[in-house]
């Protein structure tokens, strides 16, 4: 019964989050401007055209009424049709999702193991050259802006050396009704630089967390006891220290991954990567309200799911959470 | 390596000297430490904090931090000098020939790994020929050997599913995994409750008798020494002041420091004698029913209940664990007396103390001070208890703000204490320092520049300067060395009496409670198990739990 109440609690939180997000998003995009001017041709349109378009889009109604209509449609699974592309907003979002998903996943697949490993080694060797270098490098990696990092990667990795392409998705292959870059060698080649741009700050973040966790855990009595009972230091590191530092690391991985799904816009723009972040920013600029709302809803749901996964991981990892009664 | 069973002692420490080097400064930690350890012998090493006793254990285990440098002497195991061994040879000794048991059973075990797996990995690390299956069988044997019931079923359980005593048994099982020649036990029972401490000590004694393993038992507690050791090394400031058979040390100590240590051990009187404290007759003279409560009560707490909510998300079904919390707890404190609350860890005594001080809430119950009722469900300032009741905490090293000087801490107590409400306050930092035997030049210092005893005096000063009517002291002496304990207890008792403050004294140490308190409440599992005057509880109460607590004490220090 504890489990059911936990799940119910989580679901009601998620529901509240969605409501709050949709209200804020709706009011926000409403106050940015009137989308009708992006729909009609402003040079040639007569006042009648504008009025007609306004009525057609339902923009003549008071905002609360527009919101009610929006919610009503969403409940029926319809986010509306993009003002610009004249495609269903949800379909448009889904067509951009594979690009973002593969980019974020590959970036995290690089960042999580590498960051954790670097942190473990540094935490074992506090004050050594390796440790100090890692600390310095991580501060730099966290403080440089992502656009600069992306441009430097293009400069070094593409323009000066010509090793990697500077943008675009390259050749894609079809899987599950979507196009994926990571399935072809050329597509993977195109993924390298943008994935690095997303991974580098995360490597730094995860390495710092992992380092401080390692220092803390290795100062605890049980690591000393493990040495006293004759275990090798390798085994202590991987079987005892690593599980004990992983809770904060997994939390951060979950949050950062959610962030990359939605807000990797700078990297996506610079590398002309047609992903969700780019779609969101473009839609906001074009006041494409249905697409903005669809994207925001997706992001909120993604965060809720990621957090649930992180909680599940805690339970798998930590018997005190799993078995508490 | 083979160990010569006949001639040379198993372990010989000769003229060992160590210093701690950090940066330019270098502090001697040990000097001229020599002793032998024979097979099947329990050698006690006793001393106060800073005596260097744990360092000896770490030196033998080869677990010294790199800042420690050996300056003289040798440690030889089985006739071979350990400092001439390679790092690999020393690592091969660890766990296999020389094992360890540390103080904190909770911290000694990895919380994320089942206890079975932790024993199993030790067996596998120490004997590479073992199959996984054999290692598992051996681990179950070890669990059974240290007295864990149903070892097959408990094998996959995690450390938090065991009680403190069971965890320490599991740690001992791990130490036994390699069938070692020596176990170095560093304060193995200090984190355990009195009744469990005795069981664990008995287990160690049995293991020594059965297997012939030798034990070096490092402790600050004369009680532990008197219970199971064969020989004792008394240490002070890195030197051995006296070494002899246990009976000699206890009965005819030669060195003044040993005598002082022995004298400082609080003794429990279990025979009826003339009441040591007056006021004892005021509460429940004979009967625990509490008749004859003529004196006006200063504080009455009634029906305080609190259930602790389980932490974190709940993914499992059913399976209720131990229940913690308070169930319908009530106490009555006559004005100007000291009342003791005794109980083991988890009995709810600390939670109850915090509720009395307004630092914690309980969903039901009430507290009446001088006919004014307080709602314990409300927290902090809103309950009105804050300020009227002051608290002295267990560990002075964490209960003082490290960023504030002593003067700032004490001034704050005056500014926001009783004088904030009353105009005629006499509170004065300097005179309080004098009264508590603290030099005035300490005022400008920060807490880390003070000794443990000084810090606890500052905590007492802080509580008194707020001019409270009541003080809750939660184990105020258990983080201190024995010799300092006695001073603090006396000082606390005197200053409380001078100001006619009513005090609740929470402790697990029956002897200190007897010395301090006129009435005693015994807590068990969140309930009041027994209560009455001090004389009644210690000499005449026939409550079985009270008797168990008294009998678990070292016989040597009960009279």
Predicted confidence (pLDDT) at residue B2 exceeds the cutoff of 60: no
Q: Pick A10 or B249 by higher pLDDT.
A: B249
In the structure, what pLDDT confidence band is assigned to residue A146 with cuts at 50, 70 and 90?
confident
In the structure, what pLDDT confidence band is assigned to residue A226 with cuts at 50, 70 and 90?
confident
At A43-84, the pLDDT tens digits run 777 777 777 777 777 777 788 888 888 888 888 878 888 877
Looking at the complex, report in whole angstroms how far the Cα of residue B176 sits from the nearest Cα belonging to chain A: 9
Predicted confidence (pLDDT) at residue A275 exceeds the cutoff of 70: yes
In the structure, what pLDDT confidence band is assigned to residue B7 with cuts at 50, 70 and 90?
low
Percent of chain B's residues with pLDDT above 90:
17
Please choose, from the candidates B237, B262, B245, B265, the residue with its C-alpha nearest in 3D space to the C-alpha of residue B48.
B237
In the structure, what pLDDT confidence band is assigned to residue B420 with cuts at 50, 70 and 90?
low
Q: 0.80 cut: is pTM over it?
A: no
d(CA A225, CA B438): 40
Range in A143-147, A248-252, B90-94, B376-380 the model is least confident about: B376-380
SS3 helix, strand, coil % of chain B, rounded to 5? Answer: 40, 25, 35
Predicted confidence (pLDDT) at residue B306 exceeds the cutoff of 80: yes
Cβ contact B91–A230 (<8 Å): yes
Predicted confidence (pLDDT) at residue B425 exceeds the cutoff of 70: no
Nearest CA in chain B to A312: B315
Percent of chain A's residues with pLDDT above 70:
96
Tell me the longest C-alpha to C-alpha distance in chain B.
79
pLDDT attached to residue B46: 92
Please choose, from the candidates B201, B240, B323, the residue with its C-alpha nearest in 3D space to the C-alpha of residue B45.
B240
Burial bucket for residue B451 (CB in 10 Å: 0-12, 13-18, 19+):
middle
Segment B48-75 shows an average pLDDT of 85
pLDDT attached to residue A75: 81
Mean pLDDT, chain B, integer: 83
Strands (E), B271-363: 297-307, 325-334, 338-342
Q: What is the C-alpha radius of gyration for chain B, rounded to an integer number of angstroms? A: 26
Which chain A residues are Cβ-neighbours of B122 within 8 angstroms?
A: 229-231
Mutate to test the interface with B, among A10, A227, A230 (most CBs of B within 10 A): A230
User: How remote is the C-alpha of B31 from its chain's centroid?
Assistant: 28
Range in A149-153, B101-105, B110-114, B173-177 the model is least confident about: B101-105
Predicted confidence (pLDDT) at residue B299 exceeds the cutoff of 60: yes
Which chain A residues are Cβ-neighbours of B112 within 8 angstroms?
A: 240, 243-244, 317-319
pLDDT attached to residue B283: 43
At B459-471, the pLDDT tens digits run 999 998 888 889 9
Looking at the complex, report in whole angstroms how far the Cα of residue A128 sits from the nearest Cα belonging to chain B: 14
pLDDT attached to residue A109: 94
pLDDT attached to residue B232: 93
Predicted confidence (pLDDT) at residue A173 exceeds the cutoff of 80: no
Predicted confidence (pLDDT) at residue B387 exceeds the cutoff of 50: yes
Predicted confidence (pLDDT) at residue A216 exceeds the cutoff of 70: yes
Mutate to test the interface with A, among B93, B110, B162 (most CBs of A within 10 A): B110
At A183-194, the pLDDT tens digits run 777 878 888 888
d(CA A122, CA A138): 12
Contact A228/B at CB under 8 A: yes
Contact A244/B at CB under 8 A: yes
Q: DSSP 3-state assignment of A299? A: helix
pLDDT attached to residue B1: 44
Which of A224, A243, A324 is closest, CB to CB, to B112? A243
Cβ contact B320–A318 (<8 Å): no
At B322-365, the pLDDT tens digits run 445 788 899 999 988 999 999 887 788 888 998 888 888 888 88
Which of A220, A222, A311 is closest, CB to CB, to B313? A311
Ranges of each domain in chain B? 400-465
Distances (CA, A) of B553 to A279, B147, B267: 74, 21, 10
pLDDT attached to residue B86: 82
Cβ contact B316–A225 (<8 Å): no
Cβ contact A6–B94 (<8 Å): no
Predicted confidence (pLDDT) at residue B6 exceeds the cutoff of 80: no
Q: Pick B388 or B400 by higher pLDDT.
A: B400
Nearest CA in chain A to B118: A226
Q: Which residues face B502 on adjacent strands?
A: B470
Segment B49-55 shows an average pLDDT of 83
d(CA A245, CA B112): 11
Cβ contact A3–B316 (<8 Å): yes
Segment A204-215 shows an average pLDDT of 92
Predicted confidence (pLDDT) at residue B213 exceeds the cutoff of 70: yes
| DSSP one-letter code for B131 | -
Which of B94, B112, B175 is closest, CB to CB, to A317? B112
At A76-125, the pLDDT tens digits run 878 888 877 888 888 888 888 888 888 899 999 999 999 999 999 998 88
Name the CA dihedral angle for B237, B238, B239, B242, rounded to a multiple of 10 degrees. Answer: 70
Looking at the complex, report in whole angstroms how far the Cα of residue A101 sits from the nearest Cα belonging to chain B: 29
Q: Pick B22 or B458 by higher pLDDT.
A: B458
pLDDT attached to residue A323: 62
Nearest CA in chain A to B108: A222
At A313-325, the pLDDT tens digits run 888 888 777 665 4
pLDDT attached to residue B382: 61
Phi, psi of A2 (to 5 degrees): -60, -40
Cβ contact B158–A323 (<8 Å): yes
Which chain A residues are Cβ-neighbours of B114 within 8 angstroms?
A: 319
Predicted confidence (pLDDT) at residue B76 exceeds the cutoff of 50: yes
Which of B99, B160, B318 is closest, CB to CB, to A229? B99
Nearest CA in chain A to B308: A325
Interface of B with A in 124-143 (CB under 8 A): 125-126
In the structure, what pLDDT confidence band is assigned to residue B318 with cuts at 50, 70 and 90?
very low
Q: Where are the alpha helices (DSSP H) in B360-421?
A: 380-383, 396-399, 406-416
pLDDT attached to residue B285: 40
Predicted confidence (pLDDT) at residue B290 exceeds the cutoff of 70: no
Looking at the complex, report in whole angstroms how far the Cα of residue B184 sits from the nearest Cα belonging to chain A: 10
In the structure, what pLDDT confidence band is assigned to residue B282 with cuts at 50, 70 and 90?
very low
Contact A316/B at CB under 8 A: no
Segment B504-528 shows an average pLDDT of 89
User: How remote is the C-alpha of B279 from its chain's centroid?
Assistant: 29
């Amino acid at each position: 019964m504890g489990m059911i109440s936990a799940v119910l609690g989580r679901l009601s939180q998620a529901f509240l989050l969605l409501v709050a997000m949709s209200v804020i998003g709706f009011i926000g995009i409403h106050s940015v401007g009137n989308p009708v001017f992006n729909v009609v041709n402003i040079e040639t349109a007569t006042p009648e055209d504008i009025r007609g378009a306004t009525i057609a889009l339902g923009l003549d109604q008071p905002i609360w009424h527009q919101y009610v209509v929006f919610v009503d449609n969403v409940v029926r699974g319809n986010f509306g049709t993009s003002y610009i592309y004249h495609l269903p907003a949800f379909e448009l979002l889904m067509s951009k999702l594979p690009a973002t998903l593969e980019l974020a996943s590959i970036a995290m697949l690089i960042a999580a193991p590498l960051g954790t490993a670097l942190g473990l080694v540094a935490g074992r060797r506090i004050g050594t050259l390796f440790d100090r270098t890692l600390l310095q490098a991580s501060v730099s990696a966290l403080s440089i802006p992502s656009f600069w990092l992306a441009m430097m990667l293009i400069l070094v990795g593409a323009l000066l050396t010509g090793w990697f392409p500077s943008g675009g998705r390259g050749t894609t292959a079809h899987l599950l009704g979507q196009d994926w870059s990571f399935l072809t060698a050329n597509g993977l080649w195109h993924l390298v630089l943008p994935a690095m741009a997303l991974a580098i700050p995360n490597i730094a973040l995860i390495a710092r967390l992992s380092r401080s966790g390692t220092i803390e855990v290795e100062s605890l009595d049980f690591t000393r006891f493990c040495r006293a009972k004759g275990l090798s230091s390798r085994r202590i590191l991987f079987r005892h220290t690593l599980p004990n530092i992983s809770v904060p690391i997994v939390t951060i991985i979950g949050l950062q991954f959610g962030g990359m799904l939605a807000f990797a816009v700078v990297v996506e723009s610079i590398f002309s990567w047609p992903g969700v972040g780019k779609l969101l920013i473009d839609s906001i600029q074009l006041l494409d309200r249905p697409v903005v709302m669809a994207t925001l809803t997706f992001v909120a749901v993604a965060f809720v799911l990621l957090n649930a996964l992180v909680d599940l991981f805690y339970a798998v990892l930590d018997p005190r959470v799993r078995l508490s009664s | 390596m083979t160990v010569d069973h006949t001639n040379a002692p198993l372990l010989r420490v000769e003229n060992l000297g160590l210093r701690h080097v950090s940066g330019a400064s270098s502090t001697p930690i040990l000097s001229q430490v020599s002793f032998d350890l024979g097979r099947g012998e329990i050698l006690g090493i006793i001393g106060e904090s800073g005596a260097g006793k744990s360092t000896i254990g770490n030196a033998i285990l080869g677990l010294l931090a790199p800042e420690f440098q050996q300056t003289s002497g040798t440690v030889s195991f089985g006739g071979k000098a350990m400092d001439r061994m390679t790092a690999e040879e020393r690592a091969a000794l660890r766990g296999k020939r020389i094992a360890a048991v540390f103080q904190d059973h909770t911290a000694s075990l990895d919380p994320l790994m089942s206890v079975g797996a932790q024993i199993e990995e030790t067996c596998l690390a120490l004997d590479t020929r073992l199959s996984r299956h054999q290692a598992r069988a051996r681990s179950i044997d070890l669990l059974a050997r240290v007295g864990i019931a149903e070892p097959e079923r408990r094998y996959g359980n995690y450390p938090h599913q065991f009680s403190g005593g069971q965890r320490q048994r599991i740690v001992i099982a791990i130490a036994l995994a390699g069938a070692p020649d020596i176990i170095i036990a560093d304060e193995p029972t200090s984190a355990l409750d009195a009744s469990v401490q005795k069981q664990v000590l008995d287990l160690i004694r049995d293991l020594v008798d059965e297997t012939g393993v030798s034990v070096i038992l490092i402790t600050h507690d004369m009680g532990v020494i008197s219970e199971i050791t064969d020989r004792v090394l008394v240490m002070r400031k890195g030197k051995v002041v006296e070494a002899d058979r246990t009976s000699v040390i206890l009965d005819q100590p030669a060195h003044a420091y040993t005598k002082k240590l022995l004298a400082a051990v609080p003794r429990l009187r279990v025979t009826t004698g003339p009441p040591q404290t007056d006021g004892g007759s005021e509460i429940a003279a004979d009967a625990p029913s509490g008749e004859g409560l003529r004196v006006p009560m200063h504080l009455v707490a009634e029906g305080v209940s609190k259930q602790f909510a389980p932490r974190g998300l709940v993914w499992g079904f059913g399976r209720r664990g131990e229940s913690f919390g308070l169930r319908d707890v009530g106490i009555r404190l006559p004005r100007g007396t000291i009342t003791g609350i005794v109980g083991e860890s988890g009995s709810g005594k600390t939670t109850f103390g915090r509720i009395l001080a307004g630092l914690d809430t309980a969903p039901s119950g009430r507290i009446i001070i001088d006919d004014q009722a307080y709602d314990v469900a409300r927290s902090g300032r809103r309950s009105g208890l804050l300020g009227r009741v002051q608290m002295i905490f267990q560990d002075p090293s964490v209960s003082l703000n490290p960023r504030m000087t002593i003067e700032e801490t004490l001034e704050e107590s005056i500014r926001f204490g009783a004088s904030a409400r009353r105009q005629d306050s006499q509170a004065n930092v300097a005179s309080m320092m004098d009264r508590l035997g603290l030099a005035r030049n300490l005022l400008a210092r920060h807490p880390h520049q003070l000794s443990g005893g000084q810090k606890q005096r500052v905590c007492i000063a802080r509580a008194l300067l707020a001019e409270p009517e009541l003080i809750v002291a939660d184990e105020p002496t258990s983080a201190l060395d024995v010799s300092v304990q006695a001073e603090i207890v006396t000082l606390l008792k005197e200053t409380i009496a001078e100001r006619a403050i009513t005090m609740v004294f929470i402790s697990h140490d029956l002897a200190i409670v007897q010395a301090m308190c006129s009435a005693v409440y015994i807590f068990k599992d969140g309930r009041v198990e027994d209560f009455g005057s001090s004389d009644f509880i210690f000499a005449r109460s026939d409550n079985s739990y009270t008797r168990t607590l008294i009998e678990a004490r070292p016989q040597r220090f009960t009279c």
